[in-house]
Structure 1
Amino acid sequence: MKLTMVAATGGIGRHLVEQAVAGGHDVTAVARRPRDLPDGVRAVAVDLARPDMRALASAIRGADAVLSALGPRNPRADAGITSRGTRAIVTAMQAEHVRRIIIVSAAPVGPVAVPGRPKPPRHDPGDGIFMRYLGAPLTRAMFGRHYADLAMTEQILRDSGLEWTVSRPPKLTDKPLTGRYRTALNRNIRGGFSVPRADVAHHMLAMMDQPETIKQIVGIAS
């Protein structure tokens, strides 16, 4: 498949690129400063904080799918980049008639309200007692602006008319790829407190062949 990877040199993005190349896919890597990419990968420099729409459209043109690991380097200081960047990606995809997009969000986002979803559930249905009453509220208190931006990002996809999927992992680690993780549609994973970035990338690639994940939110955890 012909794939466009956004934020291709970040924590999850570099795994997406490496695993896609190993799987024989034709990869275009989008990053602010593309570097250290595998041989044969087409690199396109785009700063998603201030996107060059012409360059972004050229990166997306002809793709079978876009996989985005876009997120802030510092969740407290850089909140806002994910929704702004995703809006630009969606606009470019619509202009180029590319339909499939898979993005990374985060497990605590479900109960966060946005204008298009003013009364979300009070708790994620997959969370246990600890996460409902301590873990998730604490992380939202610490990174509230970041999670509000991710919730807005998800709303942008819901309104896009595209064939979208949202991956919601919990705490990300740099442990090596295992290929062993749990997933669930429209809920977090009970007792799932972390997952390797490499496994999130592995699952994002796998979902390209899973039509049941289209227009769904997918929880993932070890």
Structure 2
Amino acid sequence: MKLTIIAATGGIGRQILEQATAAGHDVTAVVRDPSRLPRTSARVMTIDLDKDTATLANAVAGADAVLSGLGARTKADEGIATRGTRAIVDAMRTTGSARLVVVSAAPIGTVASPDNPHPPTHDAGDGFFMRHLFSGIAKTLFRAHYADLAAMENVVRASRLDWTIARPPKLTDRALTGTYRTALDQNVRGGWSISRADVADLMLRTLDRPETVGHVVGAAS
């Protein structure tokens, strides 16, 4: 399969890259700083998503799927998920690529956004502690990051592409297990964490699961 991986130097993006190349896929890795990328057999393209629209179109042209690990790492990166995803969507629509898989976060279904100013107060999959304690604390601590991801989801939903949104809870650096739990259009009950490696595995697996197109997939260990 021909895949384009956006933000391939990030925590999840790097895991997608490693797993996709190991599986023998034809991979194009889109990065902003190639010096942060480990040695890889993938085709590497250095692209600023805010500026290099023509180059981005070349990166996604002919791809069977585009997988994005975009997300702010620092305060200076705030808004990158929304801006970058908008650029990706525009490039995909220009070139005719249709399948898009992005990563978001478990609390985002309850975060207000321009297209969803009055979200539900809790996710259907959340248990008592998630609904009444952890989710509120997380949304306070990561307010700007979550606002960016919520707006990013708006862009994806409005894209008219064949999209899937992965929503993991707390991310860890544990090894790949492949035995995590998933839930369609809601969070996983009792799901507190999942490794970045398993999120990458999930995102790649959705490519063979047409029932995930147009849906959110919750995942947790």
Give me the TM-score of the superposition, normalised by structure 2.
0.96
SS at match of 1:146: helix
Partner of 1:73: 73
2:35 counterpart of 1:36:
no
For 1:77 and 1:140, the matched residues in 2 are separated by 19
> For residues 59-138 of structure 1, what are the structure 2 equivalents within 5 Å?
59-74=59-74, 76-138=75-137
Q: List per-residue Cα deviations over 1:37-96 (Å, max 9, x = no partner).
A: 412x10000123x2310111111011000000011112x453211000000000000000
For 1:27 and 1:120, the matched residues in 2 are separated by 37
SS at match of 1:110: helix
For 1:183 and 1:90, the matched residues in 2 are separated by 26
Partner of 2:160: 161
SS at match of 2:62: coil
Instruction: For 2:191, give the aligned amino acid.
Output: G
SS at match of 1:175: coil
Q: List per-residue Cα deviations over 1:148-184 (Å, max 9, x = no partner).
A: 1101100101111000000000010000101110000
* Structure 2 runs not aligned, ≥5 long: none
Per-residue deviation at 1:103?
0.3
Instruction: For 2:14, give the aligned amino acid.
Output: R
SS at match of 2:201: helix
For 1:4 and 1:44, the matched residues in 2 are separated by 10
RMSD: 1.0
Displacement over 3 Å in runs of 4+: none
SS at match of 1:21: helix
For 2:195 and 2:187, the matched residues in 1 are separated by 16
Give me the TM-score of the superposition, normalised by structure 1.
0.96
Q: Is the 8 A contact 1:51 1:85 kept in 2?
A: no
Q: Is the 8 A contact 1:29 1:44 kept in 2?
A: yes
Higher helix share: 2
Work out the percentage of aligned pairs sharing the same amino acid.
57
Partner of 1:212: 211
For 2:2 and 2:52, the matched residues in 1 are separated by 21
